[in-house]
Amino acid sequence: MAQPPPPSRTPFTRISSDPALSDVYDKLSSSASQTDQNTAAIAQQQAKTQTTVTNLQKAIADLQGLPANNKTSVLGVRFVTLSAYMLPTDHTIIFLIGTAAVCTLPNCRLVPGQTFAVKCDAASGAAVTLNSQGTETVDGAAANTISLAAGKAIQLQSDGQNWIILSRIV
């Protein structure tokens, strides 16, 4: 919500023709004007920030298919800008990267039955390589052979021993 503009200031009244006081008057007037401008700029920036937060909450809700007013819709989605470990508490990681990155999957023995989604943002222009823990495989292949190009995504599920690909966006 935008804040109302600051009240206009009553100009300082010169009560003396003394040059030293005149200089002080000019500095006070200039300072008051600058304060008003700064206050207005801060109020505008606060409004823009609130709009950005609201838009991000709606985007995350859209990604998860939940109502925009559902505050829990932000849980489990993480945006990262470099290589990252997928945590057992994550559901989705979206890579916003400019250079190649690695997504290390959690130990599948610790998250049996759990599903995870990994997406490489379309604007990133770089690829994300999946990495598993130890000898775990993804659909029988070594995980580090699976790479997601910009705009691509994959959904995986742990069977308690290895990873199974549920879907890919290619």
Q: What is the pLDDT of residues 38-96, one digit of tens each?
A: 888 888 888 777 777 676 666 665 555 544 443 333 567 888 888 888 888 888 988 88
Are 62 and 136 within one domain?
no
| Structure-token pair, residue 6 | 């600051």
**pLDDT for residue 125 is more than 80:** no
Q: Which residues contact 72 (CB under 8 A, 6 or more apart)?
A: 66
Check: CB of residue 60 under 8 Å from CB of residue 54.
no
| DSSP-based helix, strand, coil % in the chain, nearest 5 | 35, 25, 40
For residue 61, the enclosing domain spans: 19-67
Identify which of 55, 103, 98 has the alpha carbon closest to the alpha carbon of residue 78.
Answer: 103
Instruction: Round to whole Å and give the CA distance between 138 and 164.
Output: 6
**pLDDT for residue 100 is more than 80:** yes
Q: Dump pLDDT digits (tens) for 9-29.
A: 555 555 666 666 677 777 777
- Output the average pLDDT for the chain: 78
Are 49 and 98 within one domain?
no
Are 88 and 150 within one domain?
yes
- The number of distinct structural domains making up the chain is 2
The structure's pTM equals 0.55
Is 44 part of any domain? yes
So what's the pLDDT on residue 66? Answer: 42
Check: CB of residue 166 under 8 Å from CB of residue 156.
yes
Q: Which amino acid is at 113?
A: G
So what's the pLDDT on residue 146? Answer: 85
So what's the pLDDT on residue 42? Answer: 83
